[in-house]
Amino acid sequence: MNSEFDIAIIGGGPVGTALALALRDSKLKVCVLEARLANAASNDARALALSYGSRFLLVRLGVWNALRDVSGIRTIHISQKHSFGRTILRASELDVPELGFVLPYSELQDALTDTLKQCDVKTVFGASVTQLQGEADHAVIGYQQDGTPHLLHARLAVVADGGKLLSQKYPPKVHDYGQSALVTHITCASPKSDTAFERFTPQGPLALLPFRTGYELVWTAPHQRAQEMLKWDDNIFLHELQSHFGDRVGEFLTVGDRTCFALGLRRAPEQTPMPHTVLLGNAAQTMHPVAGQGFNMGLRDAWELAQEILDSTPEELGTETMLATYCKLRRTDREAGIRFTDGLVRLFSNDLPLLSSGRAAALTALDCLPSLKKFVAKRMMFGANG
């Protein structure tokens, strides 16, 4: 069966679904190809850090009010282990009610999917994409559903699958940080319900994100060390965490199930690798989770691509000119986000004596300079494009 669409979105994760919702009611023929089955709820146990700016986009997409399990961040405490340097960002000093939010990834995914099911966008669940080819005036997508092959033509194919489809044909540029992130939920004796902690250590950053009655922990360590941490019993884990983090939230009491994943900077060589095709979100760039920038940048990618699509005529969709304009619009934010996260990891994930004192001084100086602090916080909340 052959089908014709204006926009075909490969991947119905949060970023791909956000793009589809931004295009609803536009009179464009939009199709989402999603590998999950229609009634399969997300089983991703991670919590997600949303910036304050992402909240505005989710409000515009009609999703925010459907989210119930959301914890706000009003203070971010940034420190360096074995150092006097620290910076504190406060929402009250920046004239915003919150700096960001923490919520279950699965809740956001399910809310986006439920909203998508109620609009005029065609969604093909259980679709396994096997082919993508850019032609002179359209893209050709081959996929299988229930063992049956299908072919779809689109003026613009948007790859929002996290980078799986094209990684062999167009290998991404990858920098391995030599670190893995261990993720789990913890409780403690004296939680600060609206305060997030980012602590830099020689083995990598450690983040505590306020969530429910405790914290979501993101603890980075060298790959082998992280695998060892997965095997610790709960008492050893909590003791080591206490030693690593300190007593700012009192005694650590419980730890939940733990998962671990390798960290690296992954960049597609081109955002538009073939005619009438563009990469979105993690398919274009996957960053270190320090400062929680990755998903928020992907959401901005989706929103700005939607605006460029809506501003184009049907004949302009997917053309080289249209895609070049989109890439130019996203370049500053994309490059700044990558440099920011990459620079933080390279600068703070070591124990060099000369750098240690300089980092401490920099954190203290940042805390004493309101204008610079506001600039950094604004970048974290809204991206480089503001």
Q: pLDDT tens digits, residue range 365-378?
A: 777 778 877 888 88
pLDDT tens for each residue of 94-150: 889 999 999 999 999 999 999 999 998 999 999 999 999 999 999 999 999 999 999
Q: What is the mean pLDDT of the chain?
A: 90
Rounded CA separation 121/32 (Å): 7
At 1 the pLDDT is 45
At 355 the pLDDT is 61
* 196 CB burial (10 A radius; 0-12, 13-18, 19+): buried
The lowest-confidence range among 37-41, 57-61, 177-181, 210-214 is 37-41
pLDDT of residue 14 exceeding 70, the answer is yes
Q: Could you give the angle at the alpha carbon of 383 between the alpha carbons of 381 and 386, nearest 5°?
A: 90
Closest CA to 138 of 17, 29, 325, 4: 4
For the chain, percent of residues with pLDDT exceeding 90: 72
Rounded CA separation 16/282 (Å): 10
In the numeric block, the tokens 């282990």 are attached to 81
pLDDT of residue 213 exceeding 80, the answer is yes
Contact between 49 and 100 (Cβ < 8 Å)? yes
Helix (H) or strand (E) holding 20: helix 14-22
Domains and CATH numbers, the chain: 2-40+106-172+265-348 (3.50.50.60)
Rounded CA separation 167/337 (Å): 22
At 30 the pLDDT is 97
Collect all residues with Cβ–Cβ distance below 8 Å to 118 and sequence separation of at least 6. none
For residue 49, what pLDDT band results from cuts at 50, 70 and 90?
very high
Task: Tell me the C-alpha to C-alpha distance, in Å, between residue 346 and each of 200, 349, 373.
Answer: 11, 6, 21
Closest CA to 91 of 102, 70, 76: 76
At 2 the pLDDT is 58
pLDDT tens for each residue of 288-335: 887 778 899 999 999 999 999 999 999 999 999 999 999 999 999 999
pLDDT tens for each residue of 148-190: 999 999 999 999 999 999 998 999 999 999 999 999 999 999 9
For residue 195, what pLDDT band results from cuts at 50, 70 and 90?
very high
At 288 the pLDDT is 85
At 80 the pLDDT is 81
Better pLDDT: 225 or 351: 225
DSSP E strands, the chain: 2-10, 30-34, 47-51, 71-73, 75-80, 86-90, 100-104, 122-125, 127-134, 139-145, 148-159, 173-188, 195-200, 206-211, 214-222, 252-255, 259-267, 277-279, 285-286
DSSP 219-287: EEEEHHHHHHHHHS-HHHHHHHHHHHH-STT--EEEE---EEEEEEEEE-S-SS-STTEEE-GGGTEE-
Chain centre to alpha carbon of residue 41: 20
At 202 the pLDDT is 82
